[in-house]
Chain A
Amino acid sequence: MLNEIIKEIFSAQMLSLVWQGLLETLYMSLISTAVAYVIGLPVGMLLVVTDKDGVKPNPAVNTTVGSIVNFFRSVPFLILMVAVMPLSRLIVGTTIGAKATIVSLVIASAPYVARMVESSAKEVDRGVIEASLSMGASTMQIVRKVILPEAKPSLIYGAAISSTTILGYTAMAGAVGGGGLGAIAINYGYHRKETVIMWLMVFILVLIVQVFQMIGSFLAKKNDKRIR
């Protein structure tokens, strides 16, 4: 029995399936994280800048953008996945597989990223921003030359957290035809009751989370000049 399972796991066919799943998972999480940052970074900055204690307070913009972000943050991921299927078809031409998953992953995670970015940016000392203002910096210069570079370590650390969160989403996406390790875990572990395969997938996912987190912490520390 055990022999059979081991044989199945390490069969060439299974190995290539897992390898395929791993690549798909990495592809989905990394692309989604990147695109989520393309959207989330400027939105997060907009939230910080327009905050009532920000460089250019604008309650109307801040409340509107904040509400949209909160709305997407509060929709459960699985429901969001199903809800954005038409949009996936429009953008990538399909509603299943890795590519389709990326669309919903981005929509689900960009607001999360925006909040992560906002929180990192808010850590920047108000005094430094004031000093920059006193030197005649414009809002754009404050964002690009002060907030982003000063918050860099925290932003990198946040990116590690975001990417692991997004990794978790990819696993969930497996349940509704998303592909990747999550899909393998559900197909084999849940539908065919091959728990060993399921736990193997979980183990690989845990490993990836660890690696992402380690890389993030390392880069954050390496980029931080506040440490003597």
Chain B
Amino acid sequence: MSNNPIIKIEGLSKTFGNGTGAITALDNINLSIEPGEIFGIIGLSGAGKSTLVRCMNLLERPTTGSVIFDGTDITALSDRELRKVRQSIGMIFQGFNLLMQRNALDNVCFPLELAGVPRNEAKKRAKELLSTVGLADREKSYPAQLSGGEKQRVAIARALATNPKVLLCDEATSALDPTTTQSILSLLKELNQKIGVTIIIITHEMKVIEQICNRVAIIANSQIQEIGPVQEVFRHPKTQAAKKLIFAKEDYTEEFVGKGRYLRLVFDGSQTDRPVIANMVIKCGTVVSIVYARTKMINGKMYGHMLLELPEEQEGVNKIKAYLDSENITYEEEEYNA
């Protein structure tokens, strides 16, 4: 990783209120975001995600700690300097937050207007951006005439108008249906590749992270619990909070398992995408039943756990184990007497 993070957060804490009513939303957060990456921050509602992302452009002032944007500690800047820096940090929101009395084109012109860009130039750039987000034909439409996905596209165009280095997305797809979510995520990924803008995505949805993030931080109880490449963190969640989030139903043993011998298979993305279980049954000539499976496809690779009920005879068990070894699938035998 490079030595020059685009955003570096050091010892950041945020407490709302004071005295007995004080709420600690963030507690000693340390985080480095590299230029050009798509960084995800995931956590349950109330974990402090929005507060964290709002600290990145100082919409929220941290109680302690610093926010270093492109080498400058922005908590130390004057109001005027901060406004200038904010032009380099775009932001989109769950509720879109478009100006309802301006049409799409004028919404995209807005940040340029704030920055003092001449009207003609601003209009030209806004038109380009609207066509980048696929809304060239809707420039005269008012937000009330646009669908949720279209509104978010306008918001993305607006956030990118001043050529920011970073785009902050606070639950940007949480108000959208799954199909629209997909298309917005693809657009973000495309923009990241095309213009190299660093993207920070806040969400409570795993699939958003899985789909486009390079790295992820898991936030719970006001702290970052785990941080790392998406595949690594989702494959081997270490902390209790992360496991809870990733395998939302960790209590499956009680739900699904009776007395007997079981084999837990672990898919860590290194296996082929062939239908392993079906092949195993054919090759070994033994029938097994899957009592529990929680697997995900991330970037075309399979991750997760699967619990198989083993046959009675040891011979079948041995065959299965041999097959799994040959396929490079990690497993663990479990026995339940309940």
Contacts and interface: CB of A to CB of B under 8 A. Distances in A.
Q: Considering residues A130, A223, A224, A225, which has the most beta carbons from chain B within 10 angstroms of its beta carbon?
A: A225
B71 to A, nearest CB: 19
A92 interface: no
Interface residues of A, number: 25
B144 A225 contact: yes
A61 interface: no
Contact of A131 (B89, B93, B113): B93
Contacts of A125: 95, 97, 100
Contacts of A65: none
Interface string B64-102: 000000000000000100111111011101010111111
A228 B145 contact: yes
B142 A225 contact: yes
Contact of A134 (B59, B100, B102): B59
Contact of A228 (B93, B144, B168): B144
Contact of B91 (A128, A131, A149, A224): A131
Contacts of A131: 91, 93, 97-98, 155
A135 B160 CA distance: 10
A145 interface: yes
A132 B98 CA distance: 9
B83 A150 contact: no
A128 B83 contact: no
Contacts of B97: 125, 127-128, 130-131
B35 to A, nearest CB: 20
Given A136-B111, A136-B115, A225 B83 contact: no
Contacts of A17: none
A134 B99 contact: no
A163 B113 CA distance: 34
Interface in B97-122: 97-103, 110-111, 113-115
Given A134-B86, A135-B162, A225 B111 contact: no
B111 A135 contact: yes
B57 interface: yes
A contact face: mostly helix, strand, loop, or mixed: helix
Given A134-B57, A136-B86, A136-B87, A145 B93 contact: no
Nearest to B155: A131
Contacts of A145: 110, 113-114
Given A127-B93, A135-B86, A137-B83, A149 B115 contact: no
Contacts of A136: 82-87, 111, 114-115, 162
B89 A134 contact: yes
A226 B190 CA distance: 31
A227 B83 contact: no
Contacts of A128: 97-100
A152 interface: yes
A47 interface: no
Contacts of B85: 136
A138 interface: yes
A149 to B, nearest CB: 5
Contact of B100 (A133, A141, A225): A225
Nearest to B98: A128
Q: Considering residues B86, B97, B158, which has the most beta carbons from chain A within 10 angstroms of its beta carbon?
A: B97
B57 A137 contact: no
A138 B83 CA distance: 7
A133 B114 CA distance: 10
Nearest to B79: A138
Nearest to B115: A136
A65 to B, nearest CB: 22
A146 interface: yes
Given A130-B59, A145-B113, A225 B91 contact: no
Interface in A134-192: 134-138, 141, 145-146, 149-150, 152-153
Interface of A: 125, 127-128, 130-138, 141, 145-146, 149-150, 152-153, 223-228
Interface of B: 57, 59, 79, 82-87, 89-91, 93, 95, 97-103, 110-111, 113-115, 142-145, 155, 158-159, 162, 168
19 contacts: A125-B95, A128-B97, A134-B86, A134-B89, A134-B91, A135-B87, A135-B90, A135-B158, A135-B159, A136-B82, A136-B84, A136-B111, A136-B162, A224-B101, A225-B142, A225-B143, A226-B144, A228-B144, A228-B145
